[in-house]
Amino acid sequence: MFEEARHDVWVYARKMWEANLVVASAGNVSCRAGAQHIAITPSSIPYETLQEEEIVIVDLASGNAVDSLHKPSYELPMHLSIYRSMPDVQGVVHTHAPYVTALSVLRKPLPPIIDEMMIYFGGTVEVAEYAFTGTDAVGTHVVRALGDRSGAMLANHGNVCIGRSLQKAMHVAITMESCAQVYLEALKIGEPVTLPLEAISAGRRMFEERR
């Protein structure tokens, strides 16, 4: 019943790890598994040994694991908050990518300095208010920071990326890490210049069309 969702989460969790966006078992990936459930990576199982059948199925209403061998990711409350608040979201990727996490510990938003940031993120990547990992407050703060965009940073933690598919959410995560690297490298030399208003407007229109 949940084979496809389990497979997709396993594939993209491996992609996240192979792209060096996380280490060991850090970060997490999830997707909808029908209307009433989500599939999410398990807690504390390293990605290099993770098996498809270890992906956890969770009832969206109760937050309880069903038809599963392991406990869901410790960050389950954040994923539940996103899916419950944003019915269009089909996939969530949470990473601890180095450059994004560097910005998160500085609590420094990532402004639109490259065209693709408007096209894929929809605007500035904001930093959500800090909350301790695994708490309901993380989800509350993240939903607020996301607004109508596809990614946000978690203060002192990393980022969360969303999409109408796991593929799109992963693309946002990979692109955000690249842009964060450019931004931090530019800050070493001077003050990065944000895109002009007409480019921001054009990029936002493209973002809306691609969603």
What angle in degrees, to the nearest 10, is found between the helix axes of 166-187 and 3-18? Answer: 20
Contact assessment for residue 86 and residue 113, using Cβ atoms and an 8 Å cutoff: no
Residue 187 has phi, psi (to 5 degrees) of -65, -25
Contact assessment for residue 44 and residue 202, using Cβ atoms and an 8 Å cutoff: no
How far is the C-alpha of 190 from the C-alpha of 139, rounded, in Å? 34
Pick the catalytic residue: 4, 48, 75, 191?
Answer: 75
Helix H or strand E segment including 165: none
Contact assessment for residue 74 and residue 27, using Cβ atoms and an 8 Å cutoff: no
Q: In what order do the strands lie in the sheet with 65-66?
A: 65-66, 56-59, 37-40, 28-32, 91-95, 158-163, 151-154, 127-128
Contact assessment for residue 109 and residue 124, using Cβ atoms and an 8 Å cutoff: yes
Whether 4 is catalytic is no
**Active site residues per annotation:** 75
